[in-house]
Structure 1
Amino acid sequence: MSVFNTDRLAGKTVLITGASAGIGAATAVLFARTGANLVLLARRAENLKAVKAKAEDAYKAVGKEGKVLTIEADVRKFEELDGIPEKVKEEGLEVDILVNNAGMVKGTEQVGADADITQMFDTNVLGLIHLTQIFVKQFKAKQAGTIINLGSIAGREPYAGGAIYCATKHALSAFNGSLLRELVNTPIRVIEIQPGMVETEFSVVRFRGDKEKADNVYKGLQPLVAEDIAEEIVWTASRPPHVNIAQLFVLPVNQATATLNYRK
């Protein structure tokens, strides 16, 4: 924890989408260690309870206190997102840092099912934009705030088998870049984290539950794990208020591009 100035994050409130597993869950636990309050949003209520318990243990482990609010919601449903600010306010909290982590991919087909395409765009792009717009208004009103968007190497370069997912992450990156420029006259920070290969349940979803196929994606090399990206998210959030890490590209050491890597 020596790389973080935890004083900058203690008492802040962080909203994390997709907080029930993977990068979102790891990020919640690490923010708890800094003394930040948490608003954890995801579709799976039982998983959220487990992450909340881990976050509360993290507070205790470092002798800090913080509130953890869990909200069962789907980022694809705007009416559920619209109710979040009031729920946060009822707990006596006000969001300072928004981490748009929710994202998914289904399939590697060149032409996917319409339902899968819609789900990817609704989750990775439209829900993210809608939630961001809600909190940009709040951040402008208080003249402070940090937005951290989870992009991907897929938003830097397209690759075969990722047509729709790459399109969603390119859209996210374009949105992030435009928002950065649009808010340049404010103290609001806009950050995009672009991971390469990260081993979470992400690939299991991509291969529709086929764990063997998912495991083969990382076979022969050491991929990143959720905690690696959580460290980068918390690090960017913990920079001095005048410092904005606008874009951070993170790879395992044996990966160079979306398709070029070294395996033993």
Structure 2
Amino acid sequence: MPQEKEKPAGSQSLFRGLQLLEILSNYPNGCPLAHLSELAQLNKSTVHRLLQGLQSCGYVKPAPAAGSYRLTTKMIATGQKALSSLNIIHVAAPHLEALNLETGETINFSTREDDHAIMIYKLEPTTGMLKTRAYIGQHMHLYCSAMGKLYLAFGPEEYVKQYWDSHQHVIQQLTCNTITTLSDMKKELAEIRRTRQARDQEENELGVSCIAVPVFDIHSRVPYAISVSMSTSRLALSEDSLLPLLKSTAAAISDELGYSPKAS
């Protein structure tokens, strides 16, 4: 379990119920009651009572596997309403849609949330054959995703070591290309700052690569990132034409956010 943050005064049941929703979001096919109880560090009777309340409100329902529970589509509707309230979606969507039509490839748009990148917008390919497993609301590790590396590269200098030290339980060799040492990551981040682009070179999944570019705000920070995911072989063939389109899209969104290259 991640380190628990101090909770404000309020209903214990409310916080526990929200905790169960967060855990269930990682189990799209359902999570058994016993395992859910173990993850939440609550006894089964308490978890069952909370689940009954969430079920009566329409947020949880029994999964096909006996004794398991899953989230309902009401959570999707609630999440979409929250996303639609973010002005950035209204600003970025026209530019991302134009990029999607021009490239025909999967377009991802993320922001940073604590120690993760979180997908807040995604467009499926129009001509490309590869459909990725990424989804809106997905949390991505910073160390092994192209967009995550951008947040590391353009964040506070001291944060990189802090992140590395506090995430040793997370950082692991997902493929033979995954960067798992701080020294190698620092070299990678220096190159990212120089070129203003980042890559996932089959670091999560063999055969699938990703290239990402930063979106800057009025304070020259990088609160958002854009990426294109495709097969490694296809990216190698289209990179020269693809990268300028990615960078021009990021520049257009950055401009709307008040970014001035001369001021950075």
Q: Into which bin does the TM-score normalised by the smaller protein fall? A: under 0.3
Of structures 1 and 2, the one scoring higher in RCO (CA 8 A, sep 6+) is 1
TM-score under structure 2 length normalisation: 0.27
TM-score under structure 1 length normalisation: 0.27
